[in-house]
Amino acid sequence: MNMDGITSKNIVQMDEKSIKIGWRAPANIALIKYWGKRANQLPENGSLSITLENSFTTTFLSIRKKDKADGAIGMKYYFHGALNQKFGKKIDQLLSHLQTEMPFLSDYKLIFHSENNFPHSAGIASSASSMAAVALCLVSMEQIVTKMKQSNKDFFRRASAIARLGSGSATRSLYGGIVTWGAIASIEGSSDKYATPFPLHELSRLKQTRDIILIVNSKEKQVSSSLGHAMMVAHPYREGRKNQANSNLNEFIKSISEANYQLIAKIAENEALSLHALLMTSSSGTILLQPNTLQIIEEIKKFRESTGLDLFFTIDAGPNVHLIYFEEQREMVLQLVKDKLMRYCENGLWIDDKIGNGPKLLTPEFVI
Ligand code: DP6
């Protein structure tokens, strides 16, 4: 993670009244799934994810002091150059939620310009990286306008908590590597309010994790994650899910320290299938898996049985499959994609990604 230099020298001072702040924030893929939430965007269970390297959002926030403070928040959110009402509404909600703890927000006009480097049609959830980038810009703004001094640790923790208010999975996009979110007894300092980076041993194979995202269908899903979380409130398996997720998370953490990659694979796949089982057994009877998703799962299992490689799949709330494997298996895995998996992808589309380093403050050269 690039935590260097969160200082005003990295922020472009456009003129006396205007300031521009830029951050890049990564997407993440959960292996232990956050599914179900309480008031204030607090999770029903702990989750764990891998931060990605190649899929990210770049966001610039321009702030300009109003000539006359009017107590109202004025914000515009542009996505790839066009005003985006849908995501803008989410940011508006976030800003009004923050107004008490960030009273300076209404003293400025805020304009966000945001872009994803992954295609919109790729089916990667963009709310995690987008919200994380927005949260980083807001905490940088806070630091500049209030002239507060803050350690890097406090800075990212605050950004993680603010990202959570915008979108739960965004909480984890504030750190690189493996990240957990939720109060977990075995992780010191962990909380339901913000994420915690998971320390990996220098020699852990997880440091070599790679992710091939197989795009079965690139259309926006019919059921938003927020609706999916809401359906958990009255779900007949609600309590069972909480217990399952917490026990999977604890086992997963133990497996990391014991370098038990077979168990890691088993737990991650159980999580992905459980998420979809919960969707299917909710009152809406939502089915997001598609025939080609199942074909890919079958091929991955067959390949694992025949080669003995400890790779595995995970799936978010959609039809696309993440094939998680390790660097040393790359050649064989690329062959598998070419020979057996690509045919199930929409227009043969797949994305090559890997474990990443976390957010990056953009330098002035980038900003101008
Ligand atoms: C299946 O973070 O998208 O990806 O908090 O309502 O914005 P909101 O939901 P969101 O839910 C993500 C759910 C998931 C699992 C995960 O990322 O942990």
Between the CA of 129 and the centroid of ligand 1 the distance, in Å, is: 12
Q: At what angle do helices 238-257 and 261-280 cross, to 10 degrees?
A: 160
Atom of ligand 1 nearest to the CA of 169: 2
Q: CB neighbours of 225 closer than 8 A, spacing ≥ 6?
A: 125, 127, 168, 169, 317
Give the dihedral sign, CA 68/69/73/79: positive
Whole-angstrom CA distances from 11 to 3, 292, 367 are 14, 46, 8
Between the CA of 161 and the centroid of ligand 1 the distance, in Å, is: 15
CA–CA gap between residue 294 and residue 301 (Å, rounded): 11
CA–CA gap between residue 212 and residue 322 (Å, rounded): 6
User: Which architecture characterizes domain 8-199+361-365 according to CATH?
Assistant: 2-Layer Sandwich (3.30)
| Choice from 29, 31, 34 to test ligand 1 binding pocket (greatest atom count within 8 A of CB) | 34
pLDDT score, position 225:
85
pTM confidence score = 0.94
pLDDT score, position 106:
95
CA–CA gap between residue 74 and residue 92 (Å, rounded): 9
Please give the helix or strand (H or E) that residue 271 lies within, else none: helix 261-280
Between the CA of 2 and the centroid of ligand 1 the distance, in Å, is: 25
CA–CA gap between residue 367 and residue 20 (Å, rounded): 8
Kindly state the DSSP code that residue 174 receives in the 8-state scheme: G
| Choice from 225, 227, 275 to test ligand 1 binding pocket (greatest atom count within 8 A of CB) | 225
Q: CB neighbours of 312 closer than 8 A, spacing ≥ 6?
A: 264, 265, 266, 268, 269, 300, 304, 323, 324, 325
Between the CA of 34 and the centroid of ligand 1 the distance, in Å, is: 6
Q: Where are the domains of the chain?
A: 8-199+361-365, 205-354
Q: Which residues line ligand 1 (CB under 6 A)?
A: 30, 33-34, 47, 125, 127, 167-169, 225-226, 229, 275, 316-317
Between the CA of 342 and the centroid of ligand 1 the distance, in Å, is: 27
Q: Locate 125 and state its tokens.
A: 């959830």
pLDDT score, position 18:
82
Q: What is the mean pLDDT of each run of 10 residues along the chain (368 residues)?
A: 44 66 96 97 98 96 91 94 94 96 95 89 79 97 91 96 97 98 95 97 95 91 82 97 97 97 98 97 94 98 97 95 98 98 96 97 54
Between the CA of 33 and the centroid of ligand 1 the distance, in Å, is: 8
Between the CA of 368 and the centroid of ligand 1 the distance, in Å, is: 34
Instruction: Give all strands (DSSP E) within 272-330, no chain letters.
Output: 312-315, 321-326
pLDDT score, position 4:
43
Atom of ligand 1 nearest to the CA of 168: 5
The residue among 219, 184, 209 whose CA lies nearest residue 314 is 209
Same fold, 8-199+361-365 and 205-354: no
Per CATH, which fold does 205-354 belong to?
A: Alpha-Beta Plaits (3.30.70)
Atom of ligand 1 nearest to the CA of 41: 5
Atom of ligand 1 nearest to the CA of 275: 1
Residue closest by Cα to atom 4 of ligand 1:
316
pLDDT score, position 3:
40
Instruction: Give all strands (DSSP E) within the chain, no chain letters.
Output: 12-13, 18-32, 37-38, 42-43, 47-65, 74-79, 82-83, 108-116, 178-181, 195-198, 209-214, 312-315, 321-326, 350-354, 360-361
CA–CA gap between residue 219 and residue 340 (Å, rounded): 23
Number of neighbours of residue 151 by Cβ within 10 angstroms: 10
Between the CA of 28 and the centroid of ligand 1 the distance, in Å, is: 10
| Choice from 229, 279, 315 to test ligand 1 binding pocket (greatest atom count within 8 A of CB) | 229
Between the CA of 327 and the centroid of ligand 1 the distance, in Å, is: 27
